[in-house]
Amino acid sequence: MEGWLPHIPKNTPVILFQNGLGSQQEVAERWPDRPILVASTTEGANRPEPDVLVHAGVGDTWVGPLTDSASDYTESVVQQLAQSGLRVHAENNIVPRLWQKLVVNAGINAFTALLDCPNGAIVEAPLYRQTIDGLCTEIAALLQADTGERVTPQALRERIEAVARSTASNTSSMRADVNAGRNTEIDFINGYLVQCGQRNGIATPVNQMLVQRVQTLLPFKQSD
């Protein structure tokens, strides 16, 4: 963004479509005077080959402002994106939506990358079954500390497994990145939860384990 934002008029809205949390806030803090919006989507897509893009699941997309000036652009941005045929909704308080997506990504993506399997296969895998309850206990504590939302670890596990089963044949973005030799989003998914734990004095051993193990999949690329 450092490279191309200087060439774009300052009143042009910028919409960030990214998994995880942390990177969006960095952008908003770096350019607070620009209309920075962020999106959260449940659409599914993957790229099995460089020149092939598969739309693997229909979902919903929410768009909301991160900077003060972005509020004036939300409705027009939603209308323009909706012309694509996607179901797009305005969401003035977008951060809780990002957390909802973060919870699911944190409970699925790293496991699919480590096991090299589609989403649905994780729920019976020993690594997942041995660690998911601890992971959900950590996330529940982090959610309450960071957002005030109270949710039980069991409810989080049920949410994660419902998504894993409903997208059973899908390949997560993290698994795709590992297989393609690209940097993963681990630092902004489970890694963000580790940082959140450090800010709030909450131990996150399962999230730390997942971050470290995913990083070892691409030790040279990930450290760039």
d(CA 185, CA 22): 11
The pair of three-digit structure tokens given for residue 95, joined into one six-digit string: 């951060």
The pair of three-digit structure tokens given for residue 131, joined into one six-digit string: 């660690």
Catalytic residue among 65, 70, 77, 101: 101
End-to-end alpha carbon distance in the chain = 18
Contacts of 77 (CB under 8 A, 6+ apart): 13, 15, 37, 63
The 3-state DSSP class for residue 164 equals: helix
d(CA 99, CA 4): 28
Distance of CA 131 to the CA centre of its chain: 20
The pair of three-digit structure tokens given for residue 160, joined into one six-digit string: 């994660």
The pair of three-digit structure tokens given for residue 52, joined into one six-digit string: 């092939």
8 Å CB contact between 86 and 58:
no
Q: Active site includes 101?
A: yes
d(CA 107, CA 110): 7
Active site residues: 101
